[in-house]
């Protein structure tokens, strides 16, 4: 489908400043010569009548005049929109066009050209109006370049029934060549560019370029429109409103770093730019899929999150009661927020509108796992024996789990579990809107989840499908795959909200929704260290929506 089109067809315009290679070159595809369209084409942030199309032109030092065309057919006989876009160094030679006056629920083809070179042809789709029979969303998160090839993206590209890809964050990672994933990256030839931790605008741009050089990335973006939210690593690990765990004083001003990271995000992603005068961090949306579904996306990092409270030294608690009281009173303090008041109001309005419009499903696209998850007790002799066999890292990981399991407290305090009062407030908002049927989709955890959500009173609030990393591994893997499987089974047994979880796989979720039900296939790729892979569905969750509530079948 990369569809090289003939020169005669492709040349929409010529530019005079093509220089190959040029001073501001960015990492290109892993093999082959530098190409003008080395980072592929992409589309996204669709509504009923418009969609963003995107590319980046390489090899230019100065301005470049880029032609674009959108057509109803792959031969471009039926061109419905075309134009020119002037790009330059100020926007890292990225090209972004909001194409409007399109038909709802329609597929389109698009392409770019510059200086006699034609881009690959991309395909995209607008959101449906009126009746929509079926919606297929591929749900992705945590695509770390050094940890592996984006084979899961490649598999998503091969699925012609996908309507839209929802990437829930950690689209890039900020670490240096020696940071998270570094060892694997060196072994498989996927070392981070630049080599150092990214801090400046140029750093973030170079990193985005590297991620979009992956062949799976180019295939997926060229094939399906993208809905994307950021999580933490698009800026730095575990940020909150006024800082981040992985931002130190010697790395300059946090707000400046955050601003350049978001500037690079908006340059390199096929999404609408912030409205003039609006802070870029206020990034949330309500996508309406005909009469079938709403998808409301959240921003839970920069606009409303209170600083994380981490467990720290757990030996300070003398009993489970003491630790749980701390969780309830300090971590669970009412004043601690996860979303901004403005976003909460947006969610309230969106859910109310969705219910009033009679849409069948309300999907919440969010960064972090929402289910209440405590660490299970690991007093099973299996883990005692295992401890003797583990190396230092494995032993430390296991000991941390054992201690938390004894205390009966949540492990991940950067997720919604670290903000229980805010979670309850979100549920209040949903109830007031008449939406106790939330279908929450989540990333961030590098593990698969099929969860059921309940409010404080034990009232059903919906379900959650959490996706694993495209490449990022589960943090508990140092205890070994077999132990992780056992651990996950105990976690599901110990938590009312967890129906199933499994951290052994890399892949995505294929969510298919119609008026009768929802089905989530947990699709894993069997290898990420080379381009060769097979796919396997490791779990399927089926959901019915009845009388305003969701339940597992
Ligand atoms: Fe991640």
Ligand 1 centroid–CA 170 distance in Å is 5
pLDDT (0 to 100) of residue 30: 53
pTM: 0.94
**Distance in angstroms between the alpha carbons of the first and the last residue of the chain:** 38
Ligand 1 centroid–CA 280 distance in Å is 22
Ligand 1 centroid–CA 71 distance in Å is 36
Answer for the pair 137, 163: CB distance below 8 angstroms, yes or no.
yes
Ligand 1 centroid–CA 521 distance in Å is 21
Pair type for strands 460-466 and 438-442? parallel
Q: For residues 252 and 363, give the distance between their C-alpha atoms in angstroms, rounded to a whole number.
A: 38
**Per-chain residues with Cβ under 5 A from ion ligand 1:** 142, 170, 472
- Mean pLDDT over 306-330 rounds to 95
pLDDT (0 to 100) of residue 7: 35
For residue 34, pLDDT beyond 70 = no
- Mean pLDDT over 173-182 rounds to 97
Tens digit of each residue's pLDDT (9 = 90 or more) over 338-386:
999 999 999 999 999 999 999 999 999 999 999 999 999 999 899 999 9
Residues 6+ apart with CB under 8 A from 523: 152, 155, 507, 508, 509, 510, 535, 536, 537, 538
Tens digit of each residue's pLDDT (9 = 90 or more) over 456-480:
999 999 999 999 999 999 999 899 9
Ligand 1 centroid–CA 279 distance in Å is 25
Pair type for strands 226-228 and 164-167? parallel
Alpha-carbon distances, residue 475 vs 190, 398, 412 (angstroms)? 20, 11, 11
**Could you tell me the two tokens for 425?**
């407030």
Tens digit of each residue's pLDDT (9 = 90 or more) over 81-131:
999 999 999 999 999 999 999 999 999 999 999 999 999 999 999 999 999
Ligand 1 centroid–CA 239 distance in Å is 13
Q: What is the DSSP letter of 541?
A: E
Ligand 1 centroid–CA 174 distance in Å is 11
Alpha-carbon distances, residue 341 vs 190, 335, 430 (angstroms)? 41, 12, 14
Tens digit of each residue's pLDDT (9 = 90 or more) over 127-153:
999 999 999 999 999 999 999 999 999
């Amino acid at each position: 489908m990369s569809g090289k089109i003939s020169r005669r067809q492709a040349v929409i315009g010529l530019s005079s400043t093509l220089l190959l290679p040029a001073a501001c070159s960015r990492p290109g595809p892993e093999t082959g010569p530098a190409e003008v369209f080395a980072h592929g084409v992409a589309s996204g942030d669709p509504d009923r009548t418009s969609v963003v199309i995107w590319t980046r032109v390489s090899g230019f030092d100065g301005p470049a005049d880029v032609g674009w065309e959108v057509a109803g057919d792959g031969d471009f006989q039926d061109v419905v929109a075309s134009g020119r876009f002037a790009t330059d160094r100020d926007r890292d030679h990225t090209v972004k066009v909001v194409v409007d006056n399109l038909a709802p629920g329609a597929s389109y083809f698009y392409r770019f050209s510059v200086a006699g070179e034609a881009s690959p042809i991309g395909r995209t789709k607008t959101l449906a109006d009126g009746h929509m029979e079926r919606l297929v969303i591929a749900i992705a998160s945590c695509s770390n370049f050094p940890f592996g090839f984006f084979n899961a993206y490649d598999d998503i590209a091969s699925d012609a029934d996908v309507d839209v890809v929802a990437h829930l964050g950690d689209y890039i990672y900020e670490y240096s060549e020696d940071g998270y994933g570094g060892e694997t990256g060196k072994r498989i030839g996927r070392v981070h560019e630049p080599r150092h931790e990214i801090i400046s605008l140029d750093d973030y741009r170079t990193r985005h370029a590297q991620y979009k050089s992956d062949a799976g990335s180019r295939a997926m973006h060229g094939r399906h429109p993208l809905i994307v939210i950021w999580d933490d690593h698009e800026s730095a690990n575990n940020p909150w409103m006024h800082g981040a765990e992985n931002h130190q004083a010697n790395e300059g001003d946090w707000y400046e770093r955050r601003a350049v990271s978001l500037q690079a995000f908006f340059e390199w992603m096929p999404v609408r730019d912030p409205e003039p005068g609006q802070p870029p961090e206020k990034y949330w949306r309500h996508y309406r899929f005909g009469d079938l579904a709403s998808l409301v996306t959240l921003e839970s990092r920069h606009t409303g999150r209170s600083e994380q409270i981490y467990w720290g030294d757990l030996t300070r608690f003398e009993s489970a009661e003491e630790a749980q009281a701390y969780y309830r009173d300090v971590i669970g303090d009412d004043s601690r927020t996860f979303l901004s008041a403005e976003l909460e109001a947006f969610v309230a309005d969106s859910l109310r509108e969705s219910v009033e419009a009679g849409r069948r499903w309300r999907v919440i696209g969010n960064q972090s796992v929402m289910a209440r998850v405590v660490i299970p007790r690991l007093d099973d002799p299996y883990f005692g024996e295992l401890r003797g066999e583990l190396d230092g890292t494995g032993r430390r990981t296991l000991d941390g789990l054992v201690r938390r399991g004894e205390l009966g407290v949540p492990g991940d305090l950067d997720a919604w579990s670290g903000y229980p009062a805010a979670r309850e407030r979100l549920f209040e908002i949903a109830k007031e809107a008449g939406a106790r049927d939330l279908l929450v989709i989540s990333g961030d955890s590098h593990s698969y989840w099929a969860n059921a959500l309940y409010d404080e009173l034990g009232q059903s609030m919906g379900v959650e499908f959490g996706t694993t990393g495209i490449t990022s591994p589960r943090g508990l893997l140092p205890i070994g795959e077999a132990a992780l499987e056992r651990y996950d089974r105990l976690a599901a047994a110990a938590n009312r909200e967890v129906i199933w979880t499994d951290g052994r796989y890399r892949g995505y979720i294929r969510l298919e929704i119609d008026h009768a039900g929802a089905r989530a296939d947990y699709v894993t790729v069997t290898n990420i260290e080379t381009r060769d892979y097979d796919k396997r569905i490791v779990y399927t969750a089926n959901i019915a929506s009845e009388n305003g509530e969701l339940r597992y079948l």
